[in-house]
């Protein structure tokens, strides 16, 4: 049985990568200054996710301790990135179209400051991603996975790649053209580079040529590069296909040994190598060193999305560039019908819709998100539908899509869901804009596991009660601000039922009453499975019944009262805590009681005199501490804003986000943040990053 930890890791990573991709869209053009960092995060996490996907197919007992440790750290990192994104999106989604001039000016300045802050957040997250990347290399996780027997994960393109030629469309002419180049009698090494945008069939075409050529080559090999270049693995993959004995000997070899060994094995041979999906000229420059021009009529085919890479592949050898082009209208129609129907024959009742869609789409594939929305209703086999358009309504016949599993409408202008939406019996994920009311009969969606974003202020009591009927719901994001007592009672009832079933993650805005929160926890009557709780709105005191959520591993909470930390400290499984303190008290004290497993602590204070004290033995496993402190005047607390940092024995890094004005600095010249501790050198803390108006770029802590 696959370990649930691995599946959860891969699941949240997919969510994070999707959200980072969204932040690269035009809707977030105001983030131009940090989009490069966001794109870097997305690409690096995609590489890590590939490893997580491989781990997800393995038995947990087969994974060694170091790989498990890396997997768990990447999982926590992905949750932290998701929290950062969610908080940013929430802050930027607020606003009032009727705001007066002054308020709009304040909002604009606030967003400028928030954009600066997210830039700093991205820098910190990049540092952590690099840390896990280095750990991945240090633990040699790829090598360990290579030695283990595990199920083979098929590339989703595989059915298309290895289809018989008779099932392929529009490939005959380009295939024969490339084969003609390959079969040339010229002795020098020839390279054919197929380039074009994603989805044009480059790999399919290259594989067809590779298999169709029947000429006698001494050796053949096919390798795929992808975005993350692993030159050692690529050369060993080629070596495996031409000389298995050398491959076995090369397990511990460095690149300096691998390149000459491969060249030696190819030098006297006529070889044929297909190198798929090259993403950079640098990757090709490394690979070509191992491929000798031996005047034996050897041939290389490369595929790439990038024209300059194709040029680079052809520049040093006798090369031909071939640009993969979109299918003709007739071929598109033929492929379209083959994918949707058992044969190429299109049923009469959908021919008109098919014609419209083919005209609207630049290319035809499995993803129909850009097609004419009115005609999606005809495609009953559709499983995934994400729409990013300014459409205001869905067709009522959306309920005909009985195989639909994901419906993502978050980026639309839809104001109401069709009543037929509740007929989608296989729907697993429903994502809607916050201004869309919850449909009546929501309880009919018995396969639903993820539901977001639900605005209960515009929902009926009937639909709120219906939430409690979703017995396998795992995640929900919602808000409730209007204080309607009858809706509140319905919400308590539904949340209690969900907690009794399978609810694992709850993110809520508007739950401002500690009594309400206590009520729904008490009424669930059993051990709740909830492991993630995010309460965006301020509550007066920490609800006492939170102590009952013994499986909770991640908590985000904002409170305005005094005390209550002992309730949070008692949570036995808590790994990550974000605590926003709006109370105007002098100091929060962290004792050695509780927080025994906490590894990450974010503390944010809005008050100029609020600080933290860590007593000896506090938070014994804490590794990451992030402090958001205000010091607009010299603090009135004895010893500084933070006392006892040296008691955090496992601490690895601190991020300080501070607001300090110059008058305060003149009176507080050494920026002493802890009693007996200054910003100089502290062996147990490798780095302290400071953000905000006070810039401390390379600074750590030590006893003085």
Per-residue pLDDT reduced to its tens digit, 94-130 = 444 444 444 444 454 445 445 556 666 777 788 888 8
Q: Whole-angstrom Cα distance, residue 491 to residue 471? A: 15
Assign domain 171-323 one CATH number from 3.30.70.1070, 1.10.10.10, 2.130.10.10, 3.40.50.300.
3.40.50.300
Which residues sit opposite 660 in a β-bridge?
A: 631
Q: 621 with 650: CB under 8 angstroms?
A: yes
pLDDT at 596: 94
Q: Convert the pLDDT of each residue in 406-452 to its tens digit.
A: 898 887 878 899 999 999 999 999 999 888 999 999 999 999 999 98
Which residues sit opposite 508 in a β-bridge?
A: 478, 535
Number of Cβ atoms within 10 Å of the Cβ of 385: 20
pLDDT at 390: 67
Three-state SS string over 235-253 comes to HHHHHHHHCHHHHHHCCCC
Q: Where are the domains of the chain?
A: 4-147, 171-323, 577-704
Please report which helix (H) or strand (E) contains residue 321, including its range: strand 318-323
pTM: 0.54
Q: Convert the pLDDT of each residue in 319-342 to its tens digit.
A: 899 888 776 667 666 766 666 665
Contacts of 567 (CB under 8 A, 6+ apart): 542, 543, 544, 546, 547
> First CA to last CA across the chain, in angstroms?
53
Pick from 360, 322, 73: nearest CA to 209: 322
Q: Whole-angstrom Cα distance, residue 590 to residue 602? A: 13
DSSP 685: -
The helix/strand/coil state of 622 is coil
Number of Cβ atoms within 10 Å of the Cβ of 99: 12
Residue whose structure tokens are 């595989």? 158
Q: Supply 172's token pair.
A: 């005959």
pLDDT at 552: 92
Contacts of 217 (CB under 8 A, 6+ apart): 270, 271, 272, 298, 299
Pick from 84, 108, 109: nearest CA to 34: 84
The helix/strand/coil state of 413 is coil
> What stretches of 393-528 show up as alpha helix (H) in DSSP?
461-467, 485-501, 514-524
Q: 393 with 376: CB under 8 angstroms?
A: no
Q: Which residues of the chain have pLDDT under 70?
A: 1-12, 26-31, 56-61, 86-120, 146-170, 198-199, 226-228, 327-329, 331-333, 335-375, 377-378, 388-390, 525-526, 562, 583-586, 606-610, 629-640, 657-704
């Amino acid at each position: 049985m696959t370990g649930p930890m691995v599946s959860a890791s891969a699941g949240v990573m997919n969510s994070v990568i999707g959200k980072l991709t969204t932040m690269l869209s035009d809707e977030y053009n105001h983030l131009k200054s940090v989009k490069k960092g966001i794109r870097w995060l997305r690409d690096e996490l995609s590489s890590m996710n590939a490893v997580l996907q491989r781990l997800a197919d393995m038995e947990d007992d087969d994974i060694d301790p170091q790989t498990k440790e890396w997997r768990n750290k990447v999982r926590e990192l992905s949750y932290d990135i998701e929290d950062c994104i969610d908080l940013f999106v929430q802050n930027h989604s607020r606003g009032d179209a009727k705001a007066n001039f002054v308020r709009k000016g304040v909002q604009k300045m606030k967003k400028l400051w928030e954009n600066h802050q997210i830039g700093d957040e991205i820098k910190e997250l990049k540092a952590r991603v690099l840390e896990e990347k280095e750990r991945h290399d240090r633990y040699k996780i790829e090598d360990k996975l290579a030695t283990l027997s595990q199920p083979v994960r098929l590339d989703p393109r595989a059915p298309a790649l290895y289809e018989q030629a008779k099932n392929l469309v529009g490939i005959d002419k380009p295939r024969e053209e490339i084969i003609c180049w390959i079969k040339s009698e010229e002795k020098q090494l020839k390279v054919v580079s197929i380039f074009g945008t994603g989805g044009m069939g480059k790999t399919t075409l290259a594989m067809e040529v590779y298999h169709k050529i029947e000429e006698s080559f001494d050796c053949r090999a096919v390798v795929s590069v992808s975005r993350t270049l692993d030159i050692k693995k690529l050369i060993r993959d080629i070596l495996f296909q031409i000389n298995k004995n050398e491959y076995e000997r090369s397990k511990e070899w460095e690149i300096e040994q691998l390149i000459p060994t491969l060249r030696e094995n190819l030098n006297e041979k006529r070889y044929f190598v297909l190198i798929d999906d090259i993403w950079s000229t640098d990757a090709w420059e490394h690979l070509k060193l191992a491929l000798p021009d031996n005047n034996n009529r050897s041939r290389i085919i490369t595929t790439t999305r990038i024209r300059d890479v194709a040029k680079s592949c052809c520049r040093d050898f006798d090369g031909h560039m071939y640009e993969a082009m979109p299918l003709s209208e007739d071929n598109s129609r033929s492929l379209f019908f083959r994918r949707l129907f058992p044969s190429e024959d299109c049923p009469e009742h959908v021919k008109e819709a098919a014609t419209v869609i083919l005209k609207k789409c630049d290319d035809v594939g499995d993803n129909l998100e850009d097609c004419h929305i009115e005609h999606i209703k005809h495609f009953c086999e559709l499983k995934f539908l994400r729409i990013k358009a300014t459409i205001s309504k869905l067709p009522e016949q959306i309920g005909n899509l009985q195989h639909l599993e994901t419906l993502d409408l978050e980026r639309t202008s839809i104001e109401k869901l069709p009543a037929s939406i509740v007929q989608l019996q296989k729907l697993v994920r429903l994502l809607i804009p916050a201004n869309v009311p919850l449909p009546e009969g929501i309880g009919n969606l018995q396969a639903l596991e993820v539901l977001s974003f639900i605005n209960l202020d515009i929902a009926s009591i009937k639909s709120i009660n219906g939430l409690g009927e979703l017995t396998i719901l795992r995640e929900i994001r919602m808000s409730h601000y209007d204080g309607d007592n009858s809706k509140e009672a319905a919400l308590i009832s539904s949340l209690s039922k969900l907690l009794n079933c399978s609810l694992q993650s709850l993110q809520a805005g508007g739950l401002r009453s500690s009594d309400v929160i206590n009520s729904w926890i008490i009424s669930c009557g059993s051990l709740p499975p909830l492991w993630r709780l995010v309460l965006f709105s301020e509550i007066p005191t920490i609800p006492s019944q939170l102590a009952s959520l013994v499986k909770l591993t991640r908590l985000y909470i904002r409170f305005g009262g005094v005390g209550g930390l002992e309730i949070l400290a008692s949570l036995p499984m808590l790994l990550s805590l974000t605590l926003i303190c709006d109370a105007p008290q002098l100091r929060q004290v962290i004792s050695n009681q509780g927080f025994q497993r906490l590894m990450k602590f974010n503390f944010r204070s809005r008050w100029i005199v609020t600080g933290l004290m860590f007593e000896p033995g506090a938070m014994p496993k804490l590794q990451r501490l992030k402090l958001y402190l205000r010091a607009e005047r010299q603090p009135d607390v004895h010893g500084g804003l933070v006392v006892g940092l040296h008691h955090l024995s496992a601490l690895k890094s601190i991020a300080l986000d501070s607001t300090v004005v110059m008058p305060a600095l003149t009176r507080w010249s050494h920026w002493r943040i802890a009693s007996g501790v200054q910003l100089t050198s502290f062996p147990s803390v490798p780095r302290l990053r400071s953000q905000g108006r006070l810039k401390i770029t390379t600074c750590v802590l030590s006893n003085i």
